[in-house]
Structure 1
């Protein structure tokens, strides 16, 4: 995905929805889509070098990784009341994901989350 093509966010959401369609309940799929959107949008806005998305399912668990190609880890951010929606992506990830983290790479970093999934 290129940094100027934020329409790609909708495309990766659709692909994740299709991937999870028979593997999880609707609520978890919607949470996964939201978290994916936040991480991809952050990568496109803040790195300007695109991103690579990987989703894997292991028994009962979804792992989504968003890799960018800029060094530096995301810093903690505390949005103020006047910020609108800016800066809340990692707060959502922290709140909704069962686990999440950031791993440095030789070139760039991977921000990931995991959700426990299963059919209701």
Structure 2
């Protein structure tokens, strides 16, 4: 996905589900889909320059990377009760992912997460 149309998040979810259907347990697919949606949406909202999503599945693990083209690192955010659902993306990533992080690039950054539970 290389544009800022948030409707593309659904397309990314479908493609990820199709790919992981051959490589991961159902519960982990649901989690990967949710976390990917959060990271892609964050990239589209906060950078307005599109995002590139890469998913890999190895023996017993899933890794998803969302690359954007802005060097600003994601800031920690503590949502309050009046925020509705805003600001909870990285909280979900921290809560559900077995590992996650941010890698800076020459142009932009990659926010990634890993889940254990791919098919052996």
**Common fold: TM-score over 0.5:** yes
Give the TM-score normalised by structure 1: 0.95
Deviation (angstroms), 1:22: 2.2
Aligned residue pairs, count: 118
Q: CA RMSD in A?
A: 0.9
- Who is 2:81 aligned against? 81
Q: Stretches of 4+ moved more than 4 A in 1?
A: none
Deviations 1:7-55 (A, max 9, x none): 1100010001000112222111000000000000000000000000000
Partner of 1:2: 3
Provide the residue aligned with 2:30 in structure 1. 30
Given the two structures, how large is their TM-score scaled by the length of structure 2? Answer: 0.95
Trace 1:72-111 onto structure 2 (pairs within 5 A): 72-111=72-111
Please give the secondary structure, in 2, of the residue aligned with 1:71: coil
Secondary structure of the structure 2 residue equivalent to 1:79: coil
Residues 23 and 117 of structure 1 are in contact (CA less than 8 Å); yes or no, is this contact kept in structure 2? Answer: no
